[in-house]
Amino acid sequence: MADGKTLVVYYSRKGTTRRVAEEIAAELQCDIEEIVDTKDRSGARGWMGAARDARAKNLAVIEDIKHDPSSYDLVVVGTPVWAWTMSAAIRTYLAENKGRLPEVAFFLTTGGTGMRRTFRQMEELCGKPPVACLGLKARHVRKKDPTKKIKAFVGRLRG
């Protein structure tokens, strides 16, 4: 992917996944797109609804995307882990764009567990294996510096 056109796509409820997405996009010097869930996911009630929708594998209503994934060589998809799976917004993005996705890579942030399961579900939904994956604990992103792990992930993407 050293010379390929790359897009970083992410959903973030509280900003943790956004921080990682922005750092990846800056390292790759590529386009970035935030997936916007039209449902209010703020506060405790929003968090509970988000977990319920994720666990039930519900799709979300998302705003129209600005970047056509088929015009890229690689799409890097990021999500928080909710109830041991991806966010409803990313589930929707992947479902709606499955046939338009070129090569993919995944990253996620989690408060605890669910990394492997979430990566596996993202792969199944895309219908293709990722070229690389990066899983980060949310507390590590907030309280430490994840730059070393992000740079290693970007290095794998560049091949």
pLDDT score, position 142? 84
The 3-state DSSP class for residue 143 equals helix
pLDDT score, position 10? 98
Residues of the chain with pLDDT under 70: 1-3
Please state the domain extents for the chain. Answer: 6-158
Q: b or e along 36-74 (b: 16 or more beta carbons within 10 Å of the residue's beta carbon)? A: ebeeebeeeeeeebbbebbeeeeebebeebeeebeebeb
Q: Give the residue carrying structure tokens 């996009």.
A: 25
Q: Which CATH superfamily is domain 6-158 in?
A: Flavodoxin domain (3.40.50.360)
Residue (of 83, 114, 90) closest to 34 by Cα position:
90
Q: Give the helix/strand (H/E) hosting 150.
A: helix 147-158
pLDDT score, position 3? 60
pLDDT score, position 68? 97
DSSP per-residue codes, 28-62? HT-EEEE--BSS---HHHHHHHHHHHHHTT----B
